[in-house]
Amino acid sequence: MKTIDDFNFKNQKVLVRVDFNVPLDDRFHVTDDTRIRRALPTINKILNDGGSVILMSHLGRPKEREDKYSLRHIIPVLEKLLNRKIIFGSDIIGEDSRTKARNLKPGDVMLLENLRFHPGEKKGDVEFARQLAQLGDFYVNDAFGTAHRAHASTAVIARFFPGKKAAGYLLADEVKNIEKVLRENEKPFTAIIGGAKVSSKLGVLKNLLNLVDNLIIVGGMTFTFLKALGYETGNSLVEPDLIDEANRIIKQAREKGVNLVLPEDFVIADRFAPDARTRLLKGRNIPENWMGLDIGPDTLQKIKDLILQSKTIVWNGPAGVFEWDTFARGTEEIARYLAQATREGAYTLVGGGDSVAALKKAGLEDAVSYVSTGGGAMLEMLEGKELPGIKALKE
């Protein structure tokens, strides 16, 4: 895969697919500009070469053109970070955008309106991709967060730029870091996988069994495994359809000699609420009418020991309902152990919106080796899949 370092963009109009899918508050102010900042090195390289940039992104999941999902809300942030005026293409591939793109001069930055306002984007429509492609001379993909989607701007468009397409710095960096844990991991290798559901992480768990020494399962998905092992789960989250799969994973772990670790104590609650009555449960049988919403101190000690013995650690998904302080301790402690392991020389990779949020909350974003900007995309790479957005750059 070529990266932008293989090219010079003097006098080129470069279409750059970025991931500006940032959170906005109810007054449409950007509350976290991380994703915008992570795209700046790529944008600046093109501008410094003497090229111009046409940025394209999606924002949220609009059904049609809806102002709350307009990318114009991010223009003030972008103008400040790039220290220049942004030209806005509100009709995406319409006459106005085409004229503005045609008139771009070196150093100019144009932003297209939310691509998902056009029905062709998510469908991967070839005609829409062709019309987008006509706006520029060169295609760069820097949107790792959507590289697992075969959408018009993330994959299909690449076919219109033979020999004139490349990965931006962020995308290339993401791929390098995730491939490092897939291919050049130093052992012992430990993965911590959490979050609500087994169903969304099944592929990852299966592939990780081929790679890791320790597979630690936390979060809501724990209880499907505990049910499979015959424990009582009370009102905890269980996916009955996945009990057989959980059993298969348990069996495969045994066959492959992987140490599969499940929590052994819990913070349990009498209802799913931030102010629920809670208590600490030693053991794995959740009493009737109670539910497990975080892991307990014995489990944390075990996780800490394993993390600090490991040379490679991947973490994706919270250990509890960390949005509520009462059930946030497990997730926050794991963030701290990863920071400590990193200081002691381990390679640590963290991804998934919730895990990254927990790192940020603890002020530890810079204390791990790499923070992935793409939850779903990272998971698909960990599943061993080739992402459509990356494949399209290679073809």
Measured between alpha carbons, how far is residue 72 from residues 30, 86, 93, 110 in Å?
A: 11, 10, 16, 11
| Total chain residues near ligand AMP (CB under 6 A) | 16
Give the side-chain half-sphere CA count within 13 A for 230: 0
**Least CB distance to ligand AMP at residue 196 (A):** 3
CB of 218 to ligand AMP, least distance (A): 7
Provide the 8-state DSSP code for 27: T
303 binds ligand AMP (CB under 6 A): no
Nearest approach, Cβ of residue 70 and ligand AMP (Å):
26
Encode burial over 8-21: b for 16+ CB neighbours within 10 A, e otherwise.
ebeebbbbbbbbbb
State yes or no: residue 361 binds ligand AMP (CB under 6 A).
Answer: no
Q: Please, what is the minimum distance in Å from the beta carbon of residue 223 to ligand AMP?
A: 7
Show the binding pattern over residues 122-161: x = contacts ligand AMP (CB under 6 A), - = does not. Answer: ----------------------------------------
Question: Cβ of residue 147: shortest distance to ligand AMP, in angstroms?
Answer: 19
Q: Which residues, 172 to 201, sit near ligand AMP by CB under 6 A?
A: 195-197, 200
How far, in Å, CA of 377 to CA of 34, rounded? 17
Quick check: 317 binds ligand AMP (CB under 6 A)?
yes
268 contributes a contact to ligand AMP by CB under 6 A: no
Considering the complex, state which of residue 168 and residue 317 has its C-beta at the smaller distance from ligand AMP. 317
C-alpha distances (whole Å) from 183 to each of 206, 330, 344, 350 are 16, 29, 22, 17
Task: Compare residues 141 and 331 and give the one whose CB is closer to ligand AMP.
Answer: 331
199-258: which residues touch ligand AMP (CB under 6 A)? 200, 219-220, 237
Alpha helices in the chain, H assignment, sequence order = 34-49, 75-82, 95-102, 120-123, 126-133, 169-183, 202-208, 222-228, 243-256, 297-309, 329-343, 353-361, 375-382, 388-394
Residues 6+ apart with CB under 8 A from 185: 211, 311, 312, 347
Residues taking part in catalysis? 35, 197, 353, 376
Distance CA 99, CA 61 (A): 28
389 binds ligand AMP (CB under 6 A): no
Residues lying near ligand AMP in the complex (CB under 6 A) are found at 195-197, 200, 219-220, 237, 292-293, 317-318, 320-321, 323, 352, 354
